[in-house]
């Protein structure tokens, strides 16, 4: 659809985004994660008259960090580049009415395409993109992935609509989620269970650093405590950065948090996974204030 299109993709973009870009004939440029200076250099080096698209996420799912949205959008405007923002880990959880990080920053109208999901916070299945009417019409007309697929069943669409309408008027779930995420982060720190310093959202990545131990720890938590945590190993993340990714929900209680922290303490000790300090999480009980 765009001849000689140049796509600029954040190095930490989700695998589905990477596969989507690879399926096109566009020239791909990978910029260092959240590095606006590196992105600027790559934009300046690209052909002046070529169409350009910057593809990035608001909340990154493996590290829990947030992109410098305002800086990237300003850079795109200077270079006449389109912006494609993935908000799947922010929709429903951040911004006014749960509209996402871009809306929270007041710059959603300056982004050309925003991608969201009906899973995660919305709690159903499916996804969407939004943008100007001409741009969306062009995608409908040329996107084979959309043309040769099947629409969601009416019952699923109705469930999506009901959930979205609720999240647009209720802040209760968002407030509870962020409050409980903060409490979990605090209790993990008190227990000397590390959370990667890059995390600034509800996504709490706990580094394990070993694929075998990560898998063993997940199995031990499930078998011994009835707690399921997905082990995140290579190739999802780089070797040596294997981790758990903790995501609390508004429905989890303070008791659930206590049980999780104690289970993680005991599992770390059993498998000799490093704690934050030499204290090694001796306390078997965490007191919730």
Question: What gap in Å lies between CA 14 and CA 11, rounded to an integer?
Answer: 9
Q: Is 120 a catalytic residue?
A: yes
Q: Torsion angle, CA of 94/96/102/105, rounded to 10 degrees?
A: -100
Question: Do the strands 6-10 and 27-31 form a parallel or antiparallel pair, or are they unpaired?
Answer: parallel
Question: What gap in Å lies between CA 281 and CA 273, rounded to an integer?
Answer: 11
Closest listed residue to residue 247, CA positions, set 206, 203, 183: 203
Question: What gap in Å lies between CA 227 and CA 64, rounded to an integer?
Answer: 21
Strands (E), 110-194: 113-117, 127-131
- Residue 28, number of CB atoms within 10 A of its CB: 14
Catalytic residue among 120, 213, 219, 270: 120
Residue 243: burial class (beta carbons within 10 Å; 0-12, 13-18, 19+): buried
Question: What gap in Å lies between CA 244 and CA 214, rounded to an integer?
Answer: 7
User: Helix 172-190 crosses helix 254-271 at what angle (to 10 degrees)?
Assistant: 30
Catalytic residues: 120
């Amino acid at each position: 659809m765009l001849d000689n299109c140049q796509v600029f993709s954040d190095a930490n973009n989700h695998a589905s985004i990477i596969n989507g870009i690879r399926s096109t004939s566009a020239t791909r440029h990978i910029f260092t994660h959240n590095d606006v200076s590196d992105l600027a250099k790559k934009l300046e080096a690209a052909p002046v008259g070529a169409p350009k698209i910057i593809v990035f996420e608001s909340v990154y799912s493996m590290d829990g960090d947030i992109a410098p949205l305002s800086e990237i959008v300003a850079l795109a405007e200077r270079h006449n580049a389109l912006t494609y923002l993935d908000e799947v880990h922010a929709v429903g959880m951040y911004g006014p009415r749960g509209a996402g990080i871009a809306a929270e920053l007041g710059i959603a109208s300056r982004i050309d395409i925003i991608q969201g999901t009906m899973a995660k916070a919305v709690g159903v299945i499916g996804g969407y993109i939004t943008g100007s009417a001409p741009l969306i019409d062009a995608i409908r007309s040329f996107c084979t992935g959309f043309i040769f697929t099947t629409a969601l069943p009416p019952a699923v669409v109705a469930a999506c609509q009901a959930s979205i309408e609720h999240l647009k008027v209720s802040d209760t779930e968002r407030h509870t989620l962020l409050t409980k995420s903060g409490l979990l982060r605090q209790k993990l720190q008190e227990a000397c269970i590390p959370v990667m310093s890059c995390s600034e959202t509800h996504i709490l990545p706990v580094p394990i650093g070993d694929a075998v131990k990560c898998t063993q720890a997940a199995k031990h938590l499930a078998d011994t405590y009835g707690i399921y945590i997905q082990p995140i190993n290579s190739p999802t993340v780089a070797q040596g950065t294997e981790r758990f990714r903790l995501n609390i929900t508004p429905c989890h209680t303070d008791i659930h948090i206590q049980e999780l922290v104690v289970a993680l303490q005991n599992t770390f000790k059993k498998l000799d996974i490093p704690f934050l300090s030499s204290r090694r999480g001796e306390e078997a009980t965490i007191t919730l204030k």
